């Protein structure tokens, strides 16, 4: 990849982090947490998934060596605090779209990093999905709720489809793999939000 | 160990994984989770304990290099979904016995793996217990319940007794250590289920 | 540092572990857990924070190689069980002070260990805070409560202030860094308890 492309990906990664951090801060607001709770929930949502991936891969944990992720989390949390204090209205729609973009990016990054550590395709798909989903899962556990992604929404399946596409196409065309995986996660997720897709497997 | 013995242990390990995965899927059913929730709860129950053990030992996480564990989890989860949709009845007794067998096997495997990484006896016992118990603990945390093993049942103590036997006998007779540790966990656990043994330490 | 100083720090570290273990055992008592639940909650409170730090740093997990921490946890848990069975009264004030001492020590140790692994200052502050706070956070998650430190008390901020002082002063004077960081955490925490300081960032 050219330096320009790396810069674009790095920037988008930071943006994804920021959006996820805001979703964590909003959960902290709903749970009436204090300032530190906001920071922790923002941080685990934004960097929790990648941290679990790096621990499993025995890779250096990404934010230990790149503190810019921490600064983005702190900045996003402060922004969310200011916003929530001056406006009752949470811009739910805008956040959902931003979250879907962040998700799509995290899945592509996560799958790509896992493959670069030489794991099998199935494992790379799982770790790509974890990168996108596990931050939100830890956020919900800390907020003492059953994780949303386990119960209500078509979220993780979008990640699995995107990561699978990436793994299938990457041996042939790098750019196509990145773009199609990113688009698949993004479009599936937006469709799931719009048409309220769910994945019920039990008759209750 | 001969190749036949390794094959038997590997097969039993996969069976233990499958049984634990089913117990995770049933918990997901009780919590009205969706298809992805079933998969995640099945997976954390089956491979969560071993994953924590490997992270603590700084060993390569076992299912990253052996995807057969993942396939067993997916197969068991699908099986549980089909069963729970066609039959109201959960075969509780059969599952408890299968779970006890899986537990006994996980404890022996976990203690043995810990010792092979050169940790002290006490640490090996703790890691053997964790291999057996922590998957179910993470399952309960994700399902937003106080972990069953912390509250109601004689579960972890069976693991500690079995792991201690293993550590005591292994310097002298390998086969005796494996068989007696396995039997101790299995029989103690079955007895605890039958006579409802508990370990109350507080007068309430 | 001289051998005497190392011995003092090691002793104080064990004392901190014991106090944190007692706080875990009391939480288990409140949740009506069994004997194993007491042990697990005592252990995660005492060694959970340091374990997360070591996993993130890819350092050998401290209690795997030094089982004395495990013995202290078991001893403290047994002590708490005996106490709680013979006396209804929990010595809340004494425990809070002991907890503040343990916290101050864990923060200094954690920040110092993180720096010795060559991470940046910001990362060292975060890991120092985690060493002090994350054990209690995992304890609360296992007890199925929203972690106290995220919601009610000025706890983590004391750690962040102490860890920051340590990072700022350590390049110049080692003893001053240790003593001022330790004192900052301890005094801030005691003041927060006495005057019920909180860190509300939202108007509800």
User: What are B115-169's pLDDT values in tens digits?
Assistant: 999 899 999 999 999 999 899 889 888 888 888 777 766 788 889 999 999 999 9
Q: Which of C26, C35, C36, C42 to mutate to test the interface with B (most CBs of B within 10 A)?
A: C36
- Determine the distance in angstroms separating the CA of C41 from the nearest CA of chain A, rounded to an integer: 16
B31 in contact with C, Cβ within 8 Å? no
pLDDT grade, residue C2 (50/70/90)? low
What is the C-alpha to C-alpha distance for residues C171 and A175, in angstroms, rounded to an integer?
A: 47
What's the whole-number mean pLDDT along residues B186-192? 89
Mean pLDDT for the stretch of residues C38-58? 92
pLDDT tens-place string over residues B19-60? 889 888 888 888 878 888 888 899 999 999 999 999 999 999
A160 part of a folded domain: yes
Average pLDDT over residues C27-51: 88
Band of the pLDDT at A202, cuts 50, 70, 90?
low
User: If you search the block for the tokens 């994804």, which residue do you land on?
Assistant: A16
Dihedral angle sign, alpha carbons of residues C180, C185, C189, C192:
positive
Q: What is the mean pLDDT of chain A?
A: 85
Give the number of other CB atoms < 10 A from CB of residue B92. Answer: 9
**What pLDDT score was predicted for residue B152?**
67
Interface touch A84/C120, C-beta < 8 Å: no
Could you tell me the pLDDT band of residue C96, with boundaries at 50, 70 and 90?
confident
The structural domain count of chain B equals: 1
Residues of A in contact with C201 (CB under 8 A): 34-35, 38, 81, 85
Look at residue A2 in the predicted model and tell me its pLDDT: 57
How far apart are the C-alpha atoms of C156 and B150, rounded to whole Å? 27
Domain for residue C181, yes or no? yes
Tell me the chain A residues in contact with residue C204 when contact means C-beta distances shorter than 8 Å: 32
CB-based contact C159:C147 (threshold 8 Å):
no
* C114 and C139 Cβ atoms separated by less than 8 Å: no
The answer to whether A119 contacts B31, with C-beta atoms less than 8 Å apart, is no
Instruction: Name the residue among A151, A150, A176 with its Cα closest to residue A165.
Output: A176
Give the rounded percent of residues in chain B with a pLDDT score beyond 90.
34
Instruction: Give, in order, the Cα–Cα distances in Å from B132 to each of B20, B109, B111, B159.
Output: 10, 9, 10, 7
In-domain check, residue C203? no
Q: Is residue C37 part of a domain?
A: yes
Share of chain A above pLDDT 90, in %: 33
What's the token pair of residue A188?
């599936």
Best residue of C34, C39, C85, C117 to probe chain B, by most B CBs closer than 10 Å: C34
Q: Judge: A146–B31 Cβ closer than 8 Å, yes or no.
A: yes
Digit-coded pLDDT (tens) for A19-48: 889 888 888 888 878 888 888 899 999 999
Q: Is residue A199 assigned to a domain?
A: no
Q: Which residue segment(s) compose the domain that C175 sits in?
A: 3-194
Q: How far is C153 from chain A (nearest CA, A)?
A: 8
Q: Can you read off the two tokens belonging to residue B96? A: 């408890």
Of B73, B68, B59, B57, give the one whose Cα is nearest residue B22: B73
**B38 within some domain:** yes
Residue A204 lies in a domain: no
How large is the average pLDDT for residues B70-92?
Answer: 84
Partners of A152 on chain B (C-beta within 8 Å) are 34
Contact residues, chain A, for B85 at CB < 8 Å: 201-203
Distance separating alpha carbons of residues C142 and C37, to the nearest angstrom: 10
Best CA proximity match to B104, nearest among B12, B5, B4, B2 = B12
Answer whether residue A39 is part of any domain.
yes
The pLDDT tens digits of the residues spanning A9-24 come to 778 788 889 988 988 8
Global ipTM:
0.87
- Tell me which chain A residues have a C-beta less than 8 angstroms from the C-beta of C199: 34-36
CB contact under 8 A, A142 and C145: no
Residues 155-194 of B with CB under 8 A from A: none
């Amino acid at each position: 990849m050219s330096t320009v492309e790396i810069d674009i990906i790095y920037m988008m990664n930071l943006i994804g982090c920021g959006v996820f951090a805001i979703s964590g801060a909003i959960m902290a607001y709903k749970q009436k947490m204090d300032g530190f709770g906001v920071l922790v929930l923002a941080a685990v949502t934004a960097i929790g998934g990648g941290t679990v991936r790096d621990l499993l891969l025995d890779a250096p944990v990404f934010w230990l060596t790149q503190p810019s992720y921490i600064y983005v989390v702190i900045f996003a949390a402060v922004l969310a605090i200011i916003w929530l204090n001056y406006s009752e209205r949470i811009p739910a729609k805008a956040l959902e779209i931003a979250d879907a973009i962040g998700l799509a990016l995290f899945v592509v990054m996560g799958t790509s990093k896992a493959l670069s550590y030489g794991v099998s395709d199935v494992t790379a798909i799982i770790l790509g999905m974890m990168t996108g989903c596990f931050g939100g899962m830890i956020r919900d556990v800390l907020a003492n709720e059953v994780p949303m992604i386990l119960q209500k929404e078509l979220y993780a399946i979008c990640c699995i489809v995107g990561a699978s596409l990436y793994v299938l196409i990457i041996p042939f065309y790098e750019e196509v793999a990145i773009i199609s995986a990113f688009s698949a996660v993004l479009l599936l997720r937006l469709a799931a939000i719009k048409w309220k897709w769910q994945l019920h497997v039990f008759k209750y």
